[in-house]
Amino acid sequence: MDNHDKATGENWVVASTSGVNVRKGAGTNHAIVGSLALGAAANVTKISEDGQWGYVPASGGWIWLEPCCKGAPSSWVVTASSLNLRGKADETSKSLAMLPKNTRVTVTAIAKKNFTWGQVAYAQKPDGEWHMREGWVALDYCKKA
């Protein structure tokens, strides 16, 4: 291990619909050697000195940590008749979509503010094509799957 790296051994989850690139080194100036998709879990064993990049041995390279969340993804199901998918973890935030009852979502991060909020990703099939959506839902109206 390099002196400028800190060992972590923590799981991180890709929370960006566009995924993240795996790079040969810690920085965008390094070659892309692969990618990780939305919801992919990565065991980060080293973090760069600036704290922005994590080394993932299983992928053979470094990922940018900003579009990722610490922890492992968990599956939840909407229990309300419908539930707002919001842009932020706040009940006054704009509604991006309505999730019907029994919609399965993957929670990649949790925040507490009036409600317990889950940052979620889910797939929808509006016109015969799959599209990934992400946002925040009040987990008070969901149950763990």
Average pLDDT over residues 137-143: 92
Residue 29's contacts (CB-CB under 8 Å, 6 or more residues apart) are: none
Q: What is the pLDDT of residue 17?
A: 62
- How confident is the model over 33-47, as pLDDT tens digits? 999 987 688 899 999
Banded pLDDT at 25 (limits 50, 70, 90): very high
Same domain, 80 and 136: yes
Give the CATH number, domain containing residue 120: 2.30.30.40
Q: CA-to-CA distance for 71 and 84, rounded, in angstroms?
A: 24
Is position 40 within any domain? Answer: yes
Least confident interval from 7-11, 19-23, 61-65? 7-11
Is position 1 within any domain? Answer: no
